[in-house]
Amino acid sequence: MPIPVILDCDPGHDDVFAIWLAAANPAIDLRAVTTVGGNGLLEHTTLNARVALTVAGVDGVPVARGAAGPLAGSLHPAEDIHGANALGGPVLPEPTVPLDERDAQTLMRDVIQASEAPVTIVATGPLTNIGLLVRDHPDLIPGIARVIWMGGSTTRGNATPYAEFNALTDPEAIALVLDSRVDFTMVGLNITHQALVTREVRERIGRIGTRTAAFGSELLEFFCSTYEVAQGMPDGPLHDPITVAMLIDPAVATTVRSHLDIEVDGTHTRGATRVDLIDALGAEPNATIAMDLDTDRFWTLVEEAVAALA
Ligand code: BDR
Ligand code: CA
């Protein structure tokens, strides 16, 4: 049976590929897309989610707007990577996919309550919406099979030396999700920096020939050019779709069980994910940590999805 999935995202170039992979692969039953302020303001990330589905010719997946900003502090969009509208590069078509009149919390609740099986939440942005869901609707937690989140790192950060962007944006939300004891997987920079958009990858996607591939090629060109300037990485890392790929084919990534917590204070380390890979704490593992990527399997899944869409 396909896995029922809610995709919570902040598109964002790499989020778009996560949406496409979830929409195209038959192992996934994409029941909802919810948006959060992150890479861009909520108005942009919400529009961009609708654009991503429209370009790919995907109808019938409700899209709902979630939190505009983090639980504490204010939002600092990643304009240096994603541009002023969070989806720099291509001209964006007017979306034909409508905005659901429910907010993200209500849509997630409805999907979870209506599902015959527990629902997997894939999160590819700040965890604000998911933190609010488990805080305000604890009755729904048994209906959540797992949360698989792109964010954090076992090693370096990218927004600060120790903090990854999604983690830094809303550490308090991560704490709420970890405290809820929902089954949690972290897909951090330590693995996503293995998903490099090399010239060969761009050429292969460019040759696919679908409308989705053409739009995706423009996204990747922009993304790699900003990553080169902002992070010194001309082959930008396509972080977010690894989450979906791991659901489709667990062999895409190796994982370990470990104790994970999040730094919400810290003089220099707010937003750092502390992953106890050496078991120094002797604490019960509370998370699955993605470690190493099978890049060939990963890109094959992404390319198949882009080829299968409009
Ligand atoms: C994460 O931050 C965003 O810029 C990307 O979409 C990804 O989710 C990487 O740090
Ligand atoms: Ca994202």
pLDDT tens digits, 248-276: 999 999 999 999 999 999 899 999 999 99
Ligand having the closest approach to the CA of 8: 2
* Ligand 1 nearest-atom number relative to CA 13: 6
Quick one: pLDDT at residue 19? 98
Quick one: pLDDT at residue 172? 98
- Ligand 1 centroid to Cα of residue 124, in Å, is 7
Mutate to test the pocket of ligand 1, among 75, 128, 162, 165 (most ligand atoms within 8 A of CB): 165
Quick one: pLDDT at residue 195? 98
Quick one: pLDDT at residue 227? 97
Separation of alpha carbons 45 and 65, rounded Å: 9
Mutate to test the pocket of ligand 1, among 15, 166, 192 (most ligand atoms within 8 A of CB): 166
Quick one: pLDDT at residue 50? 98
* Ligand 1 nearest-atom number relative to CA 237: 9
Ligand having the closest approach to the CA of 231: 1
Helix (H) or strand (E) segment spanning residue 15: helix 13-24
Positions in the chain short of pLDDT 50? none
pTM over 0.85: yes
- Full set of structural domains in the chain with CATH: 3-308 (3.90.245.10)
CB 241 within 8 A of CB 17: yes
Ligand having the closest approach to the CA of 151: 1
| Atom 3 of ligand 1: nearest residue by CA position | 39
Active site residues: 239
Give ligand 1 pocket residues (Cβ under 6 A): 12, 14-15, 39, 78, 81, 124-125, 150, 158, 164-166, 239-240
Separation of alpha carbons 7 and 25, rounded Å: 14
- Ligand 1 centroid to Cα of residue 116, in Å, is 32
Tokens of 115: 């599902």
Mutate to test the pocket of ligand 1, among 7, 20, 239, 273 (most ligand atoms within 8 A of CB): 239
∠ CA 41-45-47 to the nearest 5 degrees?
115
Separation of alpha carbons 228 and 233, rounded Å: 4
- Ligand 1 centroid to Cα of residue 81, in Å, is 9
- Ligand 2 centroid to Cα of residue 238, in Å, is 10
* Ligand 1 nearest-atom number relative to CA 192: 9
| Atom 4 of ligand 1: nearest residue by CA position | 39
* Ligand 1 nearest-atom number relative to CA 165: 10
Q: Please provide the DSSP assignment of 226-268 as one string.
A: HHHHHHS-SS-B--THHHHHHHH-GGGEEEEEE-EEE-SS-SS
Q: What letter would DSSP give residue 61?
A: -
Beta carbons within 8 Å of 76's beta carbon, 6+ residues apart:
169
